[in-house]
């Protein structure tokens, strides 16, 4: 990703184990396929460093202009996923994801419809003799007895 024409990803570290089974897909990606060479030639501004790290699971780390870094584990993944990880690290800015806004949107204005209460008469939607859903429910529960006047 580029911000104001400046590519954000500076370095890619590819770390893997020379003997471990979890690193076998990335070893085959590095040795047999030309994908990494194609990626490096198409993005010359990115420095790619490949180092073995024996006894550990493989990962790909991206260092960005902002000084931040992102690590993604590539343990036992397919070669297609390794290519996706390289592209994803290239397409991100390296900045932290910031949540916008708060928990709820609240306005300063009062509602035109008014405040809802369970005692509202819904024009006889609930049916029954009381004419109100809330009144019928309250009568059935026995909380209090209320008659509708009018």
Q: What is the pLDDT of residue 122?
A: 66
Comparing CA positions, the residue from 51, 52, 36 lying closest to residue 87 is: 36
Query: Which H or E element spans position 12?
Result: strand 9-16
Q: From the first residue on, what is the mean pLDDT of each consecutive set of 10 residues in the chain (150 residues)? A: 80 93 90 86 92 93 92 92 92 81 71 77 56 51 57
Comparing CA positions, the residue from 72, 73, 87, 71 lying closest to residue 35 is: 87
Convert 65-118 into a string of H (helix), E (strand) and C (coil).
Answer: CCCCEEEEECCCCCHHHHHHHHHHHHHCCCCCCCCCCCCCCCCCCCCCCCCCCC
Structural domains of the chain sorted by starting position, each given as residue range(s) with its CATH number in brackets: 2-91 (3.40.30.10), 117-143 (no CATH)
Q: What is the pLDDT of residue 127?
A: 47
């Amino acid at each position: 990703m580029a911000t104001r024409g400046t590519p954000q990803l500076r370095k890619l570290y590819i770390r893997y184990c020379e003997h471990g089974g979890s690193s076998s897909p990335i070893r085959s990606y590095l040795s047999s396929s030309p994908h990494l060479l194609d990626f490096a030639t198409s993005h010359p501004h990115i420095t790619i460093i490949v180092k073995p790290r024996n006894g550990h699971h493989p990962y790909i780390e991206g260092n960005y202009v902002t000084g931040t870094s992102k690590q993604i584990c590539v343990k036992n993944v397919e070669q297609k996923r390794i290519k996706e990880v390289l592209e994803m690290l290239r397409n991100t800015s390296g900045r932290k994801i910031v949540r916008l806004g708060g928990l709820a949107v609240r306005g300063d204005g009062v509602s035109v419809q008014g405040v809802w209460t369970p005692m509202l008469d819904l024009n006889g939607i609930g049916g029954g003799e009381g004419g109100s859903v809330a009144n019928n429910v309250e009568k059935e529960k026995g909380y209090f007895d209320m008659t509708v006047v009018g």
